[in-house]
Structure 1
């Protein structure tokens, strides 16, 4: 079986040289950031998380409490929970 040596040499096209070339999609956020992202208040985010604790509506791992003062929320999970909760009060 012949050996093939594959190499990619650094070039301007395959090398990151500036921070703006790196694009990252956030998956988790703090409650304050979630409030700004969805245009709701911080207290509404906390109320929604308390409702989630009572009934998760099939959404798993919506948030993680890393410590007594640090909570991170899944952005996609929060959006999914809000859509399942939509008009549930009717």
Structure 2
């Protein structure tokens, strides 16, 4: 098991998960309280799609998808908080 490779896959998936969740959020009406759960589900789903292309076992990819979903959710919240602070200073 190569932990560095798994981290790189997770970091790559974070960008993809963030983009897909944004598209889902714009397409469907999703309450803000369900966005982290949506992000985790999308992360796991995308990890399952990528799994046949990777060299890792299924359970590693499930964990990577979970981590990517959590990280994407946190990234979105952090960017939203920075956007609010920039808007207040104007």
More helix by share: 2
TM over 0.5: no
TM-score, normalised with respect to structure 2: 0.26
**Comparing both chains, which one has the higher relative contact order based on Cα–Cα distances under 8 Å and sequence gaps of 6 or more?**
2
TM-score, normalised with respect to structure 1: 0.26
Please tell me whether Structure 1 or Structure 2 has the larger radius of gyration of its CA atoms: 1
